[in-house]
């Protein structure tokens, strides 16, 4: 019976799906697959019998890795480490400011891919020729951005767990400053930026839910009417749908923390009279550096 298997070549790669007819396949099994790059060895991450769920499945695996395949893969991993050192030495030789991030040795040794970062565009034509002359195979150099660099290197997030991009995310999604605003998160760059220096990917996870809930609630600074009179909203708890209102106040002032007759109401009992939401005074230049809508 055909099974659908999800595999990864590198830990940071997206899961790719293949068809496998071999009943011996298990999670953790290594298989040889054909990718757009060429032959590669991958590890089985999941197995599913429901083929109709995976429309993108178009290929079968080449074979389950045998003993010789595993030995060859181990040799390739060793070659990758050696190639990393060669890259560093030759970059110094050609006086190129390039930081090597990862090396990918295809299973059949038909190509070597070097992933690197640099401040700007790099003219590495002579550099590639030198590498090709040494290895006698096709050489490919790929310049990547800071998000991809972090995805490949991995690390620990401020939550104490492994970085999402390196563990659970298949692709980057657009993240914006508005997501932090919707979730009432402090717009302090140090608190909303990830290890890559851009906005944290996790800001996107619950954004849809917060947007839905916030549509029914007033914003801080709104002039509202409640059962006890009128006032200004000074805080909102989106998850509990609770709104704090300073009764008889006519305006919101962030610097003035002395609010009188502050009462808490359920969001459904608060009627908005005038939208006058207060916008935090923030350094937009600093925050724009974090915003990454193009996925780079």
Higher pLDDT, 185 or 24: 185
CATH 3.30.450 fits 70-144, yes or no: no
CATH 2.60.120 fits 216-274, yes or no: no
CATH 2.30.30 domain span(s) along the chain: 216-274
SS (H, E, C) the chain: CCEEEEEECCCCCCCEEEEECCCCCCCCCEEEEECCCCEEEEEEEEEECCHHHCCCCCCECCEECCHHHHHHHHHHHHHHHHHHHHHHHHHHHCCCCCEEEEEEECCCCCEEEEEEECCCCCCCHHHHHHHHHHHCCEEEEEECCHHHHHHHHCCECCCCCECHHHHCCCCCCCECHHHHHHCCCCCCHHHHECCCCCECHHHHCCHHHHHHHHCCCCCCCCEEEECCEEEEEEEEECCCCEEEEEECCCCCCCCCCCCCCEEEEEHHHCEEEECCCCCCCCCHHHHHHHCECCCC
Query: Which tens digit of pLDDT belongs to each residue from 165-195?
Result: 988 888 888 899 989 988 988 888 888 999 9
Higher pLDDT, 145 or 50: 145
CATH 3.30.300 domain span(s) along the chain: 70-144
Query: Which tens digit of pLDDT belongs to each residue from 149-170?
Result: 999 999 999 889 999 998 888 8
Looking at the whole model, is its pTM more than 0.85?
no
Query: Which tens digit of pLDDT belongs to each residue from 225-283?
Result: 999 999 889 889 999 999 999 887 776 665 555 667 889 999 999 999 888 765 544 55
């Amino acid at each position: 019976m055909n099974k659908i298997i999800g595999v990864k070549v590198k830990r940071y790669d997206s899961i790719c799906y293949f068809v496998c007819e071999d009943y011996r396949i298990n999670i953790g099994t290594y298989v040889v697959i054909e990718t757009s790059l060429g032959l590669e060895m991958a590890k089985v991450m999941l197995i599913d019998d429901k083929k109709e769920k995976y429309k993108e499945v178009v290929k079968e695996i080449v074979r389950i890795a045998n003993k010789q395949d595993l030995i060859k893969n181990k040799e390739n991993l060793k070659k990758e480490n050696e190639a990393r050192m060669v890259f560093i030495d030759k970059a110094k030789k050609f006086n190129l400011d390039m930081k090597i991030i990862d090396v990918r040795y295809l299973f059949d040794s038909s190509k070597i891919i070097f992933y690197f970062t640099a401040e700007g565009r790099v003219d590495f034509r002579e550099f590639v020729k030198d590498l090709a002359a040494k290895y006698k195979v096709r050489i490919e150099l790929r310049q990547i951005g800071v998000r991809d660099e972090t995805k490949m290197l991995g690390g620990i997030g401020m939550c104490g767990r492994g970085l999402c991009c390196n563990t659970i995310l298949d692709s980057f999604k657009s993240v914006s400053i508005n997501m932090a605003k919707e979730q009432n998160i402090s717009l302090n760059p140090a608190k909303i930026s990830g290890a890559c220096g851009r906005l944290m990917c996790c800001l996107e996870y619950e954004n849809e839910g917060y947007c839905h809930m916030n549509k029914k609630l007033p914003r801080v600074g709104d002039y509202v009417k409640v059962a006890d009179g009128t006032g200004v909203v000074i805080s909102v708890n989106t998850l509990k749908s609770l709104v704090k209102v300073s009764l008889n106040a006519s305006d919101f002032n962030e610097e003035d923390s002395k609010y009188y007759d502050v009462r808490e109401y359920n969001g459904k009992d608060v009627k908005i009279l005038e939208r006058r939401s207060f916008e935090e005074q923030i350094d937009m230049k600093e925050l724009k550096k974090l915003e990454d809508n193009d996925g780079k």
